[in-house]
């Protein structure tokens, strides 16, 4: 089954404790991206990657890091989480410029205390 | 820069009634337009999309949308609402150029369906 898989789905952590949210897709997509969803703000792009070893900032990259060492994986790293990073995070992928349609994971709800 | 406006945050309709969710966009280049649906505790699922060609686009679950360039609109409709349509709906725009396949999303509209 074609899918985007994120882990963990739910996480409660404390300020400053590094964490990683993993994302993996099995559709051989070139393009991957992270969004955060906040009430009343819709979804905003954090980072994106057009291919292996190619990443760039989206609209709200502060406090986040990413890496793309393999085509299928695109982890999101919070080096020192803060309460304003409490949010619902979505990983998404697509074939890139050939198709702008994004396929989304089921989301990771992060709470930073 | 692109933007999407979805007026209001909540729409309530009776089962069997017409569903109309409004979306207006701003884009300096020809847009790709999307509607996504989000059910509770799930990711976003594509309902339909407009890229080029026919301006009336049909999607899943009986939904359709019409691209009106002169009005910069892409409103979503369904002739008869079903209880299972209750969800949050997002309109999104992407430009046809550039390497970043970013979608710019509206703030979303929650659809409630009354029995």
Sign of the CA dihedral B74, B8, B110, A41? positive
State the Cα–Cα distance between residues B68 and B70, nearest whole angstrom: 6
Q: Residue A42 and residue B49: Cβ atoms within 8 Å?
A: no
Tell me the pairing of strands B64-68 and B56-58: antiparallel
Residue spans of beta strands (DSSP E) within B6-99 = 10-14, 19-21, 24-26, 31-38, 44-50, 56-58, 64-68, 73-78, 87-95
Cα–Cα distance for residue pair B32/B106, rounded to 1 Å: 14
Is the confidence at residue A98, as pLDDT, over 70? Answer: no
Which residues of chain B are at the A interface, by a Cβ-Cβ cutoff of 8 Å? Answer: 4, 9, 32, 34, 36, 41-46, 49, 51, 90, 94, 96, 99-103, 105-108
More confident residue, A98 or A48: A48
**What is the DSSP-derived secondary structure letter of residue B43?**
-
DSSP helix/strand/coil, A43? strand
- Taking the CA of residue B107 and the nearest CA in chain A, the distance in Å comes to 4
User: Average pLDDT over chain B, rounded to whole?
Assistant: 92
Residues A89, A45, A21, A110, CA torsion sign: negative
CA angle (A27, A28, A29) in 5-degree steps: 90
pLDDT at B88 over 70: yes
**Predicted confidence (pLDDT) at residue B109 exceeds the cutoff of 70:** yes
Listed in sequence order, the residues at least 6 apart from B9 whose beta carbon sits closer than 8 Å to its beta carbon are A40, B107, B108, B109, B110
Question: Can you give the pLDDT at residue B21?
Answer: 97
Which residues in chain B have Cβ-Cβ distances shorter than 8 Å to A92? 44
Q: Which residues pair with A46 in a beta bridge?
A: none
Whether the CB-CB separation of A100 and B103 falls below 8 Å is answered with yes
Residue B98: partners with Cβ closer than 8 Å, 6 or more residues away: none
Report percent pLDDT > 90 for chain A.
Answer: 85
Q: What is the pLDDT of residues B22-76, one digit of tens each?
A: 999 998 788 899 999 999 888 899 999 998 888 999 999 999 999 999 999 999 9
**Per-residue pLDDT at B110 exceeds 80:** yes
Pull the structure tokens for residue B14: 């009776």
pLDDT at B101 over 80: no
Query: What's the pLDDT at B41?
Result: 83
B96: helix, coil or strand? coil
* Cβ–Cβ < 8 Å for B86, B112: yes
From B4, B43, B99, residue closest to A104, measured CB to CB: B43
pLDDT at res. A1: 84
Of B45, B33, B92, the closest CA to residue A4 belongs to B45
């Amino acid at each position: 089954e074609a899918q985007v898989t994120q882990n963990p789905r739910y996480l409660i952590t404390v300020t400053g404790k590094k964490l990683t949210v993993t994302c993996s897709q099995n559709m051989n997509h070139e393009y991957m991206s992270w969004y955060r969803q906040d009430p009343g703000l819709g979804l905003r792009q954090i980072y994106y990657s057009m291919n292996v070893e190619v990443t760039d900032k989206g609209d709200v990259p502060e406090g986040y890091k990413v890496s793309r060492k393999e085509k299928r994986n695109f982890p999101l790293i919070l080096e020192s989480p803060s309460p304003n990073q409490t949010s619902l995070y979505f990983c998404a992928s697509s074939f890139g410029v050939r198709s702008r349609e994004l396929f989304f994971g089921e989301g990771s709800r992060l709470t930073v205390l | 820069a692109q933007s999407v406006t979805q007026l209001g945050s909540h729409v309530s309709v009776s089962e069997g009634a017409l569903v109309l969710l409004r979306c207006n966009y701003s884009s300096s280049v020809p847009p790709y337009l999307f509607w996504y649906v989000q059910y509770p505790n799930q990711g976003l699922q594509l309902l339909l999309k407009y890229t080029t060609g026919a301006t009336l686009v049909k999607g899943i679950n009986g939904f359709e949308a019409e691209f009106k360039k002169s009005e910069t609109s892409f409103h979503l409709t369904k002739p008869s609402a079903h209880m299972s349509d209750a969800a949050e709906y997002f309109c999104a725009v992407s430009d046809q150029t550039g390497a970043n396949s970013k979608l710019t999303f509206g703030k979303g509209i929650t659809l409630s369906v009354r029995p």
